[in-house]
Structures are given as structure tokens and as C-alpha cells.
Chains A and B, each alone.
Chain A
Amino acid sequence: MRTLPLKYLALLGYLVFLAFPLVWLASTALKTPREMASLHPTWIPRHPTLANFGEAFHEQNLTQSAGNSLLVALTAAVLTVLLALPAAYALVRFSSVLNKLALGWVLVSQVFPFVLVIIPLFLILKQLDLVNTRGGLILVYLTFNLPFALWMLQGYVRGVPRELEEAASVDGAGRLRILRTVVAPLLAPGVVATFLFAFISSWNEFMFALVLLKDPDLATLPLTLVRFKGADGVARLGPLAAAALLATVPSLALFAVIQRRLTTGLLAGAVKG
């Protein structure tokens, strides 16, 4: 009991460390260029302004990029889960050889530098006529989310005891019904966790979106963010911060809503993984 205030203090310390850049971002977004050139930075702007938001929105069509990011990230995340789930199930239930191979692949693909596969990947997409399309980008995100999604989901599937399925089938239920009524509810937290991971990875990705998308109408949020930077470290910090806030808030909101499910979800996967 005596340690309680200490615990709160420690927690506060952690949270300050983790959240202060977000506060600083918000503070910067509200400052005029004049104030940002001041020698004594302040947390609370002395002359707050909303001009940066207006500038960022008008000039770079942020709403459109946000929409693009949302479309791409959501579709990629949904597809990732839809494809990874049956695959994870098959790997765990039916073949241990393939399972080991798949997990080995997960490791290797995580280690090999993405930077080096960008060009061959681009060439392949060109062959498929998917350059400069959001569909191509979704496909790439899907591919690169799959290994980790597989790894997570196969852990959760392992967490569902085989006996449960056996028992249900003894009771006369068909395979599909078993999957729907017995397995699926237990996998729900894992699915949520995997979805979230895939969404955030896709939402934040920059490099491949940069090389694949040419049309300004198709640009995702990270691409519009770098447009506020000039050369030699000079940048329009105000609009950049405003746009950056917009890029951060959706993920955060999604987290706030799902986070309880997240912890219970990761539990089985991590332990069994």
C-alpha cells in the first residue's frame, strides 16, 4: 500500500516520456513561424493560430491523402487477416513441415532489407500493370504484412485446443460449423490484434508508396508530409506539424477503442508463439 504513490509516479514518468512528443507536435502546429524562430521554446504558444492547419489542408489536399491512406490501410489490413487466417489454420492443423517452413520464411523475410527489394518489386508490379495504382500498393502491403500476421495468428490457433474441435465433431457438427461456432470466437482477439498491426504498418509506410504512386490524387499521408520539407534541413514546421497530427490521430483513435481487446488478444499468440 505504501508503494502506491510511487507506482503512480513511475507511471506518470513513463507516460510523460512516451507522450510528450505528441504534445510538442500539437504545440508546434499552433505556432506562427515567428514564434518558432524564438530562442526560448515554450510549451504553450504565446500567439496560437490555426493558420497552419488551413495552409496544410488547402495546399496539399490533406483530406484526399487521408482518404487514400484510409482506403489503402483498411483494405490491406482486411485482406491480410482474410488470407492469413485460413493459412494459419491450415499450417497449424495439417502440416508441421509446412508450418516450420512458413515460420522460417517469416524470419528471413523480416530480416532481409526492404530497401533492396524495392526495385525488383517495382519491376514485377510494372509487369502486372499495377504501377501508380492504389491496388498495387495494397497488394505490396498485404504481402509484407502476411509473414508477421501468419506468425501471430498461428500462435492463436495453437491456443485453441484441438480437443474442442474434436469434441464438437463428435457431436456431429460439420467442419464449417465447428470453425464458425467454436474456433472463430476464440480467435477473435487474435484477429483484432493482427488487424491492428496490419493497419498501422500500412498507414505509416512511406518508401514504397513514394516510388509506386505518381499521381498526386493517389498520394497517401506520409507522402504529403515530406512535401513540407525543403533541402538542407529547412522545413515549414507549422503546416508539417499540423499534417503530422492528422497522420497520427486516426491510429491513436483506433487504439483507444480497441486497446482492451488488444491485450487479451496478443496474450495467446505471444505465449504460444
Chain B
Amino acid sequence: MSATTATVAAGRKSRHRNGFQPASLGLLAPALLPVLVLSVAPLLYGIYLGFTDARAGRNMPVHVTGFRNYVELFGDADFWGSFRVGLIWAASVTALQFVAALGLALLLNQKLRGRWLARTLTLVPWAMPPVVVGLMWRLVYHPQAGILNSTLADLHLISTPVDWLNDFTLALPAVIAVGVWSGMPQTTITLLAGLQAVPAELTEASIVDGASAWQRFRAVTWPALRPVVTAITALDFIWNINQFGLVYVLTQGGPGGQTRLPMLFAYEEAFRYGFFGYAASLGVAIVVVVLVILAFYLRRMLKEAV
């Protein structure tokens, strides 16, 4: 494009921007309406509840108590416990998911036979409703009738059955394994898409230059992949720290709170014991923490990308 055409185009661009402002609202409105009514409103209400002593009950009076819930939260050992479990869980699952998914994506990117079937099978965990996932893995982990113990015993790797989901030290790792399993599809497919976006010319050029596979990965693939990695790991972290259904079916937060994720804790407080206000303050606390962590993470990743 010549300089004149570019300027003309730029001019028209700014005119378009000003001219189309009202139309943009029209395009936004249909999406905005349900979001405002059904997402923003309940959320604001939820945040408000965090400042009250709301409890379950018919005609239960609600008083605004300010920051009392947060003070109580701060001194609640169970809260910090679930917070700790949540961080370990989210960090482990995100990291392991990423490494495993990267490996699989690299494999799927190659011209191997049966790619269509491989890709379809990759998506099995995503296709299963979380209720089913939980139940299936409970069966797999069953100490005596479970396929895991019987396979390990057949391979002579264990001599006595291991009670995976009820052992105080093994429960969290066992649950993390399921978390990795169930989250792999999304991460794998996203990374695969990112890999396919790597410009072919660059890869070919580096092959011509005689670079090894590892060097190629470091110099060409990784930099191109980086924005995708940032995006998907950040999103994975958020989804993981918010995990509820899967772990609930697997262990209900047991044994002894070893797998009680923050969301499980919030659910118990709200639905089982009826302390709505307290649970809401927990929700807000988690949001704040996650946003802070994300801010640091994203800033670092984006800075390095420049």
C-alpha cells in the first residue's frame, strides 16, 4: 500500500469508528442483557452477602456486619487449609496438564497414522459429564475391586492393595491425577492449534540450517507458542482453582479435609451449614487472591514476550 492510500484508509478508519458507535451498542445489547441480569446481578448480590450475616432459614433477618466475616475467615484454620489445598491442587494440575498436553500436542502435530482417531480419543475426558468422571475414577481407585490396584498387583508393583482415595497422604495426588486427566483435552487442543500456527517457513528454514529437534523447538516453536501458552495456563489455573464437581464426587473433600478445595469449603458453608454470608465472603476472598496471582503471572509472561 502506498503512503497516500494508507493515510486515506486511516482517515476512513477513524471516521468509521466515530460513526459506528451507536450501532455497536446495538450489536452488544443482546449479549449484554442476559449478562447484566443473570450474571452481574447475582454476582453483586453475592458480594453484598459477604458483608452480612445471612443464614439459611425462613424469614431469617439479615444484618449488615461489615468486615466481620472476613475477620472470622482470617482466623479460620479450615479456610487456610482449604486455601493451601486449593493452591497445591491448582498449581500441580495446571503444570502437569501443561507438560502432558504439550507432549501430546507435539505428537498429534506430527504426520502419524490414525491421527483422526487419536484426536477423537483425546477428547474423551471432555465429553464425559463430571458426575460420570468422578464415579468412574472412584471405581478405578477402589482398593479391592479397582482396576488400578489389580493391574499394579499383576505387574508386581504393589503387594497390598492401596486405598488411594482414603489415605491421608495419597488422596490429594490421586485426585490431582484425575484433575490432569479431565483437563487435558482443552489444553491439548489449544496447544495443538498453536503449534499449527507456527509459520511453516521458519520451521523449514531452521531444518535447512541443520538445527536439531530441540534447537528448533527452543528457537522457533516456543516463541511462537508463547502467547498461547500464557493464555491457556492462566485460564487453566482459574478453572482448576474453581474446581468443585469433580472433587466433590470423588472424595467430598475428605479424608479429613485433605482434598477440601476452596469451592468445596464454600459449598459446605453455604449449603450444608447454611452460613450464606460467610460462604460469600470466602468466594470474594478467593476471587481477590486469584486475580492478584494472575496479575503477577500475566505481567511477567507478557513482559518476557516483548
Interface size class of A (residues with CB under 8 A): 35 or more
Cβ contacts under 8 Å, B270 to chain A:
115-116, 119
When C-beta atoms are compared, the residue in chain B nearest to A140 turns out to be B38
A172 at the A/B interface (Cβ < 8 Å)?
Answer: no
B112 CB–A CB distance under 8 Å? yes
- Residue from the list A94, A116, A147 in contact with B20, Cβ < 8 A: A94
Q: Is the CB of A94 within 8 A of B21?
A: yes
Which residues does chain B contribute within 8 Å of A162, judged by CB atoms?
13
Q: A25-B136, A143-B39 are in contact. Are A18 and B122 (CB under 8 A)?
A: yes
Judge whether B299 is part of the interface by a CB distance below 8 angstroms: no
Contact between chains at B290 and A226 (CB < 8 Å)? no
Which A residues lie within 8 Å of B150 (CB)?
40-41
Interface pair B116/A166, CB less than 8 Å apart = no
Chain A residues whose C-beta falls within 8 Å of the C-beta of B194 in the assembled complex: 267, 270-271
Q: Is the CB of A225 within 8 A of B24?
A: no
Residue of A nearest to B127 (CB): A251
Question: Are B287 and A108 in contact (CB-based, < 8 A)?
Answer: yes
A146 touches B131 (CB 8 A): no
Q: Which of B256-298 contact A (CB under 8 A)?
A: 262-263, 266-267, 270-271, 276, 279-280, 283-284, 286-287, 290-291, 294
A270 B27 Cβ-Cβ under 8 A? no
* Known contacts A25-B136, A146-B35, A264-B193; is-contact A255 B127 (Cβ 8 Å): yes
> What are the residues of chain B within 8 A of A11 when measuring CB–CB?
104, 107-108, 112, 118
Residue count of chain B within 8 Å CB distance of chain A: 98
Q: Smallest Cβ distance from B206 to chain A, in angstroms?
A: 18
Asked whether A89 is an interface residue with its Cβ less than 8 Å from the other chain, the reply is yes
Not counting A11-B104, A93-B20, A147-B35, a sample of 12 additional A-B residue pairs whose C-beta atoms are within 8 angstroms of each other reads: A7-B110, A10-B103, A41-B147, A86-B28, A91-B24, A111-B291, A162-B13, A166-B9, A166-B13, A263-B193, A268-B197, A271-B193
Report A's interface with B, CB cutoff 8 A: 7-8, 10-11, 14-15, 17-19, 21-22, 24-25, 28, 36-41, 43, 82-84, 86-87, 89-91, 93-95, 98, 105, 107-117, 119-121, 124-125, 139-140, 142-144, 146-147, 150, 162-163, 166, 169-170, 200, 203-204, 206-207, 221-222, 225-226, 229, 235, 237, 240, 244, 247-249, 251-252, 255-256, 259-260, 262-268, 270-273
A-contacting residues of B (Cβ < 8 Å)? 1, 9, 12-13, 17, 20-21, 23-25, 27-28, 30-32, 34-35, 37-43, 45-46, 49, 100, 103-104, 107-108, 110, 112, 116, 118-133, 135-137, 139-140, 144-147, 150, 181, 184-185, 189-190, 192-194, 196-197, 227-228, 231-232, 235, 238-239, 241-242, 244-245, 262-263, 266-267, 270-271, 276, 279-280, 283-284, 286-287, 290-291, 294
Instruction: Supply 28 A–B pairs (Cβ within 8 Å), ascending by A.
Output: A11-B107, A11-B112, A18-B185, A24-B136, A38-B145, A89-B27, A95-B24, A105-B35, A110-B235, A112-B287, A113-B263, A115-B244, A119-B270, A121-B42, A143-B37, A204-B128, A225-B129, A240-B135, A244-B136, A247-B129, A247-B132, A248-B127, A251-B126, A263-B196, A266-B190, A267-B196, A270-B227, A271-B227
Sorted from nearest, which 3 A-B pairs have the closest CB atoms?
Answer: A251-B127, A87-B31, A267-B193
